[in-house]
Amino acid sequence: MLTCIDIGCVEHGEEESIQHLIDAHHPDLLLGFDPLAHDGLEQINGTWVVTRQMAAWTEITTLTFLERGMCSGVVDREDHDGVSVQAFDVASLIWSLPGDLILKLDCEGSEYPILHHLIDTKADSRLKLALVEWHEGQDRHDHAGDQGFILEHFGAPIKKWDSMAGVA
């Protein structure tokens, strides 16, 4: 069984990550998460797609979500205007799922703390592949993102994700 976890699954204009993932990987199940998503269940080209209105993070908590179109994202500080959104622990989700897993991250700077967390919890070793759209200079969080460290220490292959075309 192959499951794709799509963090940042909401379509913006021509950006269609769910369809790109289905076309490229033909998963049995796709779990899509985004603070702007609607909770839902549907079948697309033989893939069951579950979408949840939640943010991916390093723990189960409530975060502030800033709505800024394609640059929307969560912050782990309360010094911003925004709305509260429920967040889940990506590592816990990964450890709870059976079979092969592909993770796609397009989360406007949150990829850095999430990927560090996956390394720290060794959840990265459960992944067949990680697809990451890197957001340099958009880190809204209190620690700097170190792409080189992540690429060197991550326990699964990482490919660059292009939000318009899928894998670059």
- For residue 104, the cross-strand partners are 6, 131
* Max mean pLDDT range (6-10, 127-131, 148-152): 127-131
pLDDT value, residue 82: 79
The model's pTM is: 0.89
- The predicted-structure confidence for 29-88, as pLDDT tens digits, reads as follows 999 999 989 999 999 999 999 999 999 999 999 988 877 666 667 766 565 677 888 999
Q: What is the DSSP string of 27-85?
A: -SEEEEE-TT---EEEEETTEEEEEES-EEESSSEEEEEE--GGG-EEESSSSS--EEE
Judge contact between 132 and 105, C-beta under 8 A.
yes
Closest to 70 (Cα-Cα) out of 140, 14, 113:
14
Tokens encoding 148: 């080189």
| Domain extents in the chain | 2-167
For residue 165, pLDDT over 80 is answered with no
- The predicted-structure confidence for 72-130, as pLDDT tens digits, reads as follows 677 665 656 778 889 999 999 999 999 999 999 998 888 999 999 999 999 999 999 99
